Amino acid sequence: MMANPNYASLKELARAKRAQYGVTTEALNLIVVRKIYSDEGIRIDNWEFPRTIRAAYMSDDADPSVAINKTLPREPRLFSLVHELKHHYVDRPKIEQGQIKCGDYNENQTIEIGAEVFAAEFIYPETEFLERLQLLNIEPGQCSPEDVVRLKRECRACVSYQFLRKRLVRLGFAMPHAFDKIQFQKLEEQLYGPPIYKQKWFQRRRGRAQAK
C-alpha cells in the first residue's frame, strides 16, 4: 500500500500544533488539552452516547463544539479530544457547509483515518516512540506482550494499550493479530502487582479518610 501523502502532511500539522502550544509528551494530559480547546474557542460537552460513539465535532453558526462520551476513561478521552481537533483544523469548512454531517464521519474513511493519524502523532510523535523502543531493546518483529507492558509503564505518554498495540503492529514490531488475545491490564498486574487503588492498604486508608 502506498503511503498517503495527505497523512504525512497531517503528521506535520500535528507536530506544528504541538510546537505552537508548547506540548511535550510527558506533560500532555486532559488539562493541557482543555486549555487548547479554550484557546481555540471550542466548547466541550459531556454526552451520554452509546458505547460505540466516542465523540463528535460540530460547528453551527461558527460556534464549534465537541460532544464527548462522558464514560470514556482518561487515555481514550484524551485521544478522542485530539482526534476531534483535527476535524476542527482541517475539516471544519466541509462540516459547516454540510458536506459532511455529524455521524457520517465513520463512512468518510480518509477523514477518519487522517484524524487518527493526527491524534497519534500529536500525543506521541513516532520518532519519540521509536527512540523509546530502541532504549528498551525492542526489535522489529520481536515485540512480546511483556515488552508492551514495559513500554506502557516507561514511555511516559498518556496512551492506552490499544494505542501502543496498533502502532507496534503497524510499524512491524509485532505481527498483525499478535496481541489479539492478550489482556494487557491483567498481564501488567501479574508482572508488577495490582495498581495502588486495588491494594488492600490503600483501600483501608481511603476507607478511613472517607469515614472522617
Segment interacting with Zn ion (CB under 5 A) among 17-25, 69-77, 98-106, 152-160 = 98-106
Return the DSSP state at 44.
Answer: E
Q: How many residues bind Zn ion (CB under 5 A)?
A: 2
Our CB check for Zn ion shows the closer of 54 and 152 to be 54
Nearest distance, CB of residue 105 and Zn ion, angstroms = 4
Our CB check for Zn ion shows the closer of 105 and 129 to be 105
What 3-state DSSP class applies to 155?
coil
Segment interacting with Zn ion (CB under 5 A) among 9-17, 46-54, 74-82, 103-111 = 103-111
Cα gap 74→29, rounded to integer Å: 9
Number of other residues whose CB lies within 10 A of the CB of residue 66: 22
In the window 106-145, what residues touch Zn ion (CB under 5 A)?
A: 115
Our CB check for Zn ion shows the closer of 58 and 143 to be 58
Phi, psi of 58 (to 5 degrees): -135, 145
Nearest distance, CB of residue 92 and Zn ion, angstroms = 12
Nearest distance, CB of residue 200 and Zn ion, angstroms = 42
Cell of 77: 478521552
Nearest distance, CB of residue 166 and Zn ion, angstroms = 16
Residue-wise DSSP of 137-151: TPPTT---HHHHHHH
Please tell me whether residue 105 binds Zn ion under the rule CB under 5 A: yes
Please tell me whether residue 161 binds Zn ion under the rule CB under 5 A: no
76, 49 contact by CB (below 8 A): no
Please tell me whether residue 67 binds Zn ion under the rule CB under 5 A: no
44, 37 contact by CB (below 8 A): yes
Nearest distance, CB of residue 94 and Zn ion, angstroms = 12
Cα gap 22→39, rounded to integer Å: 13
183, 148 contact by CB (below 8 A): no
Our CB check for Zn ion shows the closer of 105 and 122 to be 105
Cell of 178: 499478535
Nearest distance, CB of residue 108 and Zn ion, angstroms = 8
Q: Write out the residues near Zn ion by the rule CB under 5 A.
A: 105, 115
